[in-house]
Structures are given as structure tokens and as C-alpha cells.
Amino acid sequence: MKDCPTTPPAAPAAVDLKRHLLLRVSLFALAVGVVATVVVLHQTRARIRDHLARTGVTVERLIAGEADQLRDAFRRSLDGLALTSLDGIGPLLGICVAVEDLYKRPVVSRCFHDDGEAPTPVRWLLARLIGPEVAYRGVIGQYPGVKVGEFVVTPDLDSEGRAAWVQIRTVLGMSLAILLLNLLIYRPVRRALRPADQILAVLGRMEAGDLSARMPRPRLIELRRIAAGFDHLAAQLQKTLAAQRQLAQRLLAVREEERRRLARELHDEFGQCLASVGAEAAFIAARAESTDPSLLPAARAVSAVTGHMMESLQGILHQLRPVGLEEFGLTAALEQLVAGWRRRMPGCDFALTVTGAVDGLPDGLTVSLYRIVQESLTNALRHGTPGRVAVDLARDAAGCRLRVEDDGEGDAPPSPGSGLGVLGMCERVEALGGQFALEPLAPRGMRVRVDFSPEALQATEPTHD
């Protein structure tokens, strides 16, 4: 019992190794850059928070000392305060200080940096990350309990941004180095996998039937081993198929030879016996007509049965060995075959076109082409009820081609006419090195397509020791 066909599992998606490698490493480099930048910014934020908490008290003492030098005992004004006491330590601390008097009026505001501004994107990210709540607020007093002003210490975003930008540039440099390494790896990988296109071309040739195609020898040792193993398997397959083809051709030759012998035996022995019986029946009928008329019906019945058996014998002989195929060639045999169908099917239009030296084909191929046409016509007319059947046989420098087309409604199942069947036609063609196909036509009809390449024609030539 044949196994029921099952749906094959879905094939995994194809992967381009070169593109996959380039994409993976590039994404890795990008991830390293992004993650490291985020880490640097968060470390800067934590450092700023801790730095403000530790330096706020020192800044408050320095501002209070400077304010005491500018005021007398009876003045509570902060006029003239310039934060000069922070000129030495301010750039090291990376802070900005804003002072207001007792009435919330701004007195002075300074940021202690002298190295220029930070990159705008870095400064913007720090401002968003830190927020306005990160600050140190203090009071400026003259005596204990006497308030003369307030001050606010905030981080200097330009100073902190430049420091963070130095670290970010280092990280970006590492990412660029990874990308450069990616390119350096990609080039040799691409060079090593370049023979893949040649390998695919060889596979395409083998799929088309050229089993003599062989793999290139790539520089990559893994691919070289695969190519060597594939060539070994291809050589073994070529030998096996050649042996099978020779065996199939031998079987076809033996079968045709057996049919030829059987046809000759039937014609010489059985045919002569039927002819002798027919002559004896005619003699008995002639004598019975004058001597014993009661035997006349029996004699005529024997003659009728003998004639029917002679017609059946002729049909059997025609199936076993086409009349005129050896004596007159393939073209004449096909014309006789089509003419016989024209007589039997007068309502169908038959067209036969033969071009090229088809009569010079080897005997095995000649018989096979005749059998295929015979089976194709039988299938088309018994199962498709066509209005037109066209047979086209051609031989030229490109090989030998046979097309049998009809406009019937059938699907060309195997018929018992010649005992060949569609499967038998396919096996016969493949045994001779050709290609067979049964194709539906639009809007209706079927086409039998048979192709033999010049190499296949040459392989079917008989060899002589």
C-alpha cells in the first residue's frame, strides 16, 4: 500500500551570512555606544548630586567671608559682591552661583568655566537628566540669626558637559573601532563565500540534467571539503544513472525483440493455420452445397469465425510490431497510424507534421516515438472526445522533439490499448535520456511533450564491439 502524501515541513528562512554578520556586529557597536553614553550621563548625574552636597558648605563660607568684607556693622546690603573668592576654586568645582539680596533681587550670577561651551546635544541631555531640582541653596548672614541674602549653587552644565563629552568620545571611538573591525572581518568572509554563486550555478546545471557538472574548489577549507564530497556523490550518481539507463535500454530492446519474435511466430504459424482453416472451410462449403446442404451453415460459420480471427490476429500483430516501421521508416508508419484513426474517427481533425531526418533515428528511439504517439492518440480519442489532434515531430541540431496536442476534455489516463500508459511513456523516455511531460492546455486539452537532446540521441546509437 502506498503511503499517503504528507505536507513537507516548512523550510527555515534563508540567511545571508555576510549581511547577517555585518548587521549583528553593527548593531552590537551601536548598542555599545548607546549603553555606554547612557552610563556616562548617569554617572555624571550621580557625581553632580554628590559634588553639590559636599561643596555647598564650602561655597557658603567663602561667600559669607567676601560679604563681610564689603559691609560695615550698620549695612545689610550686598552691593559690590562679585564672588571673587570663588575665582580660584570655582573652575575646579564646575559650579554656577547665583546670589539674591534680602528682597529677592539678583545681585550676581556667575559660572566658573573658561574652556568654552559644551556640545549642545550633550548639554541638553544633561539638563534634561539633572533637572532644576539638583541645586544647593544657602543663606548669607551678618550675625547669627540676621539674614542679608540667599545664594543658589547649580552645576555648570558646560563644564560638566565637556567632561562627559570626553568620556563619550572615548566610547564612540570604541564603537567606531568595532565597526572598522566589522568591515575588516566582512571582507575576508565575503571573499571566502564568493564561490557560493558558482556552487549555485553548478547545482542549476545538475538540476537541468547535466550530471557532468562539477563544483569549484573554494579557498575556504570547509567549502572545499563539501565540494569534494558533492563531486564524489555526483560521480557515483552519474555512474548509477548510466547503469540504470543502459539496463532500461536493454530491457526495452529485449521487449521489442520479444514482440518482434512473437509477431513473426504468430504471422508464420498461427496465420498460416488460420489461412489453412479458412481454405478447408471454403472447400467444405463448396462440397456441402452440392452433396449435403445441411453442412453449409456450419461451413460458413467456420469461415466467418476464421475471418474474425484473422482480423484479430492482424490487430495483435499491429500492436506487437507496427506494419512498415522497419521497411519504410518512422514517417510512413506514423502516416499509416494517423490515417487509420482518420478512418475510424471521421469527425475529428488529425494533423501530422514531420520535419527533419527522423527516419535516420536509432531503432530503439524510433520504436519508442511510435509507441508514444500511438498511446497518446489512444488516450486522447478514448477519454477526451477531441475535435482536433495534432502530432508534431521534428529533428534538428537542437535534438528531437515530439508534441501531441488535443482539445478534448479528458485528463489522459492510462489506457489498455498498447499496454504502455502514461507512466510507461515516461519511463521509456527517461530510459533513453529524454524528458517527458504531460501538460494541460487552456481552455481545454492536453499536450504530450517529449524532448531528446543531441547528447541523448547520440547515447541511443547502438555500439559495436
pLDDT digits (tens, 9 = 90+) for 148-193: 788 888 888 788 788 888 888 888 888 888 888 877 777 777 776 6
Of 112, 101, 212, which is closest to residue 155 (Cα–Cα)? 112
Per-residue pLDDT tens digits of the chain, which is 465 residues long: 344 444 455 555 555 666 777 788 888 888 888 888 888 888 888 888 887 777 888 888 887 777 777 655 555 567 777 787 787 777 777 788 888 887 788 888 888 876 777 788 888 888 788 777 788 888 877 556 667 788 888 888 788 788 888 888 888 888 888 888 877 777 777 776 677 777 888 888 777 767 778 888 877 787 788 888 888 888 888 788 777 777 766 776 677 677 777 777 776 677 778 778 878 778 787 877 777 777 778 878 888 888 888 877 777 776 666 666 767 788 888 888 888 888 888 888 999 999 988 888 887 788 888 888 888 888 888 777 888 999 999 998 888 999 999 988 755 444 444 445 787 788 778 878 888 888 888 888 889 999 988 877 776 665 544
Contact of 31 with 172, CB cutoff 8 Å: no
Question: Which of 226, 221, 222, 237 shows the shortest CA–CA distance to 199?
Answer: 226
Cα–Cα distance, 342 to 334 (Å, whole number): 12
Task: Look at residue 412 in the predicted model and tell me its pLDDT.
Answer: 45
Helices 221-265 and 363-383, packing angle to 10 deg:
80
| φ, ψ dihedrals at 2, nearest 5° | -80, 145
Strand partners, 75: none
The CA distance from 404 to 412, in Å, is 12
In sequence order, the β-bridge partners of residue 391 are 352, 404
Distances (CA, A) of 107 to 69, 81, 143, 280, 380: 16, 7, 20, 150, 109
pLDDT at 1: 38
Contact present, 147 and 141 (Cβ < 8 Å)? yes
Over residues 339-361, the pLDDT tens digits come to: 888 888 888 899 999 998 888 88
Closest to 45 in 3D by CA, of 131, 120, 114, 117: 131
DSSP collapsed to 3 states, the chain: CCCCCCCCCCCCCCCCHHHHHHHHHHHHHHHHHHHHHHHHHHHHHHHHHHHHHHHHHHHHHHHHHHHHHHCCCCCCCCCCCCCHHHCCCHHHHCEEEEEEECCCCEEEEEECCCCCCCCHHHHHHHHHHHCCCCCEEEEEECCCCCEEEEEEEEECHHHHHHHHHHHHHHHHHHHHHHHHHHHHHHHHHHHHHCHHHHHHHHHHHHHCCCCCCCCCCCCCHHHHHHHHHHHHHHHHHHHHHHHHHHHHHHHHHHHHHHHHHHHHHHHHHHHHHHHHHHHHHHHHHHHHHHCCHHHHHHHHHHHHHHHHHHHHHHHHHHHHCCCCHHHHCHHHHHHHHHHHHHHHCCCCEEEEEEECCHHHCCHHHHHHHHHHHHHHHHHHHHHCCCCEEEEEEEEECCEEEEEEEECCCCCCCCCCCCCCHHHHHHHHHHHCCCEEEEEECCCCCEEEEEEECHHHHHHCCCCCC
Which residues have CB under 8 Å from 305's CB, separation 6+? none
Residue 404 is predicted with a pLDDT of 92
Residue 415: predicted pLDDT: 43
d(CA 313, CA 270): 8
SS (H, E, C) 245-290: HHHHHHHHHHHHHHHHHHHHHHHHHHHHHHHHHHHHHHHHHHHHHH
Query: Which residue type occupies 68?
Result: D
pTM: 0.47
